């Protein structure tokens, strides 16, 4: 009798572990979202990756605050958005890069207006698990810093799994 119950206990523990693994996989596949932003006015060179230093939301811990890259955890259709700010008398382009290809841009131009401006760009794209998505300063940018810490403009990057 004791051996029979011992086997049932092992089966129950294995079933609980399997259920936990399935739940984690389900959560990973349906709960993918991040929102990060810059807390200061960084100076970036053209084609340099923007490294957003504030992680407001990162449900799957897939955004790397050390290198600025979002690692796609699950194959699917994603929405990515970038907002970028330019200082007065300047202009800046931010490019959304998916696996080395420019998929979207945002161009903020206040060169002739003498005011701070922002612009946003949004893409909907199919991405495979393991793909890399990031934002870089575009070639169509001047040498002014990117603005991000005033009351009206926040340079930010976000994304989420649509389906």
- DSSP 3-state assignment of 66? coil
- pLDDT tens per residue across span 19-71: 544 444 444 457 999 999 999 888 888 899 999 999 999 998 999 999 999 99
CA 67, CA 56: separation in Å to the nearest integer? 17
Say whether pLDDT at 1 is over 60: no
Whole-number pLDDT of residue 27? 46
Please check whether residue 127 is in contact with residue 78, taking contact to mean a CB–CB distance below 8 angstroms: yes
Confidence of residue 139 (pLDDT cuts 50, 70, 90): confident
Q: Give 37-40's long-range contacts (Cβ < 8 A, gap of 24+).
A: 37/148, 37/154, 37/155, 37/156, 37/157, 38/146, 38/148, 38/149, 38/154, 38/155, 38/156, 39/148, 39/149, 40/148, 40/149
Residue 7 pLDDT level (bands cut at 50, 70, 90): low
Q: What is the pTM of this model?
A: 0.78
pLDDT of 83 higher than 90:
yes
Q: Can you name the residues that pair with 35 across neighbouring β-strands?
A: 57, 158
pLDDT digits (tens, 9 = 90+) for 105-126: 999 887 777 778 889 999 999 9
Nearest to 163 by CA among 29, 40, 60, 38: 29
């Amino acid at each position: 009798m004791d051996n029979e119950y011992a086997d049932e206990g092992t089966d129950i523990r294995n079933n609980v572990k399997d259920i936990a693994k399935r739940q984690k996989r389900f959560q990973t596949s349906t709960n993918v979202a991040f929102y990060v932003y810059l807390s200061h006015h960084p100076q970036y060179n053209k084609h340099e990756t923007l490294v957003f230093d504030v992680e407001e939301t990162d449900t799957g811990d897939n955004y790397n605050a050390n290198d600025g890259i979002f690692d796609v955890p699950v194959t699917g259709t994603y929405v990515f958005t970038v907002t970028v700010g330019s200082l007065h008398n300047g202009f800046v382009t931010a490019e959304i890069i998916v696996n080395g290809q420019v998929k979207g841009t945002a161009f903020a131009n206040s060169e002739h207006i003498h005011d701070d401006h922002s612009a946003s760009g949004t893409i909907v794209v199919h991405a495979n698990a393991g793909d890399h998505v990031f934002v870089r300063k575009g070639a169509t940018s001047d040498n002014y810093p990117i603005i991000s810490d005033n009351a009206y403009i926040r340079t930010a990057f976000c994304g989420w799994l649509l389906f």
